Amino acid sequence: MDSTTQTSAPSSQRPLNGTGVLRIPGWKHKKETFRIGTWNARGMRRDGKVENIAIEMARLNIDVLGISDTKIPGTGKIHTVKNCIVYYSGSDCSKERYGVAIAVSQRIEPAITNVIPISNRAMMLQINTKPRKLNVIQVYAPTADKDTAVVNDFYADVNKLYQLTKKEEINVVMGDLNARVGSGEVPGTVGKFGLGARNERGDLLVQFCQEKELVIANTLFQLPPRRLYTWTSPAHMKDNIVRNQIDYVMLNKRFRNSIKCAKTYPGADIGSDHHPVIVDLSCQLKYILKSKSQSKGIDVQKLREPNDKELPCDFPFCDFL
């Protein structure tokens, strides 16, 4: 063999032929970082769609992924072959038009303390993390063609879930809000780096965030537009750019410093015109053993009733499956 023949790459950044190559490093999952995201899937009933979501979660190292527009009726749990568990919440209608879900990696499941499916537009997952418990509320807001009554019902459902949390816990509300908060800063609520102009639904969302003392994570970081917009309109063309920021991840502003990064990933693909918004939080899992007393649960059916007024603050594991 010729002694000059090269049998291995000179470095991890150079190929065998010696020419330079630019490699995009993978995202390194740090132990102290918890990665959450939200994504409008545009339906999950098509064959292979759930598995595709699990593949993208593994590729992007997402611990918890909230999913909007699942179109899956009823409530339940799906185990995928990619070690992903999907909890979903829909209506009793066999032809579900909306639906929400929260998918978690297998390592997260032992830390889950509650799953609360309140409607086909809102659900909550509670996870034991350090230094505080993490409450993840996934939502799917009505589109612009829906009347005010439907929007009010949606926010009423979100309020019911939020009342089950505590101020000292890490409370996350995320999903497709079908609203534009715009690029104008609202101190303590909307950062300087939102996208576009605020609309009427955006005003309503900002008001909700102010009442709950929430900050919108994906408006806090100065990024190029491709890392800010979350939805591409069907009318989008090269000479007619129609891209909006309508999916958000929000959390109580006392934990704002826990947000290490918040951006969209336009390269991810599950056959949707939305892109996932992913946020890195500084917190760790805290595994617990569920006792027999925790199987008692809360009355989810009562929580789903529109006239429910009194909500408990402390409750055990809600096993709705």
Show pLDDT as tens, one digit a residue, over the chain (321 residues): 444 444 434 333 444 444 443 333 444 445 578 999 999 999 999 999 999 999 999 999 999 999 999 999 999 999 988 889 999 999 999 999 999 999 999 889 999 999 999 999 999 999 999 888 999 999 999 999 999 999 999 999 999 999 999 999 999 999 999 999 999 999 999 999 999 999 999 999 999 999 999 999 999 999 999 999 999 876 765 666 678 999 999 999 999 999 999 999 998 989 999 999 999 998 888 765 554 434 445 667 777 776 544 444 333 334 444
Domain ranges of the chain: 33-286
Cβ atoms 53, 45 nearer than 8 A: no
**Strand pairing report for 243-244 and 129-130:** unpaired
First-to-last C-alpha distance (Å) of the chain:
65
Return the CATH fold of 33-286: Deoxyribonuclease I; Chain A (3.60.10)
DSSP-assigned states of every residue in 236-298: -BTTB--EE--EEEEEEGGGGGGEEEEEE-TT--SS-SB--EEEEEE-EE---PPPGGGGG--
Residue 186 carries which DSSP code? Answer: B
Give, in order, the Cα–Cα distances in Å from 321 to each of 89, 161, 302: 11, 19, 16
Check if the beta carbon of residue 320 is closer than 8 Å to that of residue 300: yes
Using DSSP, state whether 233 is helix, strand or coil: coil
